[in-house]
Amino acid sequence: MRRNVFWAVLVAATALIQTTWLGAVRIQGALPDLTLLLVIYFALRDGEERAMWTGVIGGLFQDVAGNAVLGHNILCNVVIGYVVARVCQRLITDHHAVRVVLVILACLARGLLYTLAFYIQNPDLAAVHHIIVTVVPGAFYTAVCALFLFPVLDRPSVRQALVKGEAL
């Protein structure tokens, strides 16, 4: 029970940071996707169910706070969480390089999926320009953030709180 409460608070806090304060670290229009980082982290550590629920909660926050139709971010995060978790069952993901490549590919796939869903509803969108200007730099920016966030989440005290639900 405590584990689920701690996890939900972590996801909600990350999604709130993503939708409110993260604009301060924007570089040339690119933002890291912290919610997707949590989805990928839980896909690596706990499997598809935890990753998909992380995608639902984080995507809901992003959809409500953003300018998108309700469900686009949820769909993208859930699909990426499931696919990454299934791929991670076949990979050894302890090396940082593997994790970074996985984050880049997941971010690119999420960006393409989101752009496709948005383009279907708004055909006036310059989709290729959006992918080149926003999605690709954002994927690399998110991968750099993963180099710092994953070791923090893997610390024994944080990991113990995530596994057993104990306080930090």
pLDDT tens digits, residue range 91-135?
888 888 899 999 999 999 999 999 999 899 888 888 899 899 999
Q: List the one residue out of 30, 90, 18 whose CA is nearest residue 59.
A: 18
Q: Which residues of the chain have pLDDT under 70?
A: 1, 159, 161-168
Q: What is the pTM of this model?
A: 0.89
Q: Are 62 and 18 in contact (CB under 8 A)?
A: yes
Spatial distance between the Cα atoms of 14 and 27, rounded to a whole number of angstroms: 19
Q: Are 2 and 164 in contact (CB under 8 A)?
A: yes
pLDDT of residue 164: 62
What CATH number has the domain spanning 2-24+31-164? 1.10.1760
pLDDT of residue 107: 96
Q: Are 136 and 108 in contact (CB under 8 A)?
A: yes
3-state DSSP call for residue 89? coil
pLDDT of residue 163: 67
Q: List the one residue out of 33, 42, 45, 57 whose CA is nearest residue 114.
A: 33
pLDDT of residue 167: 52
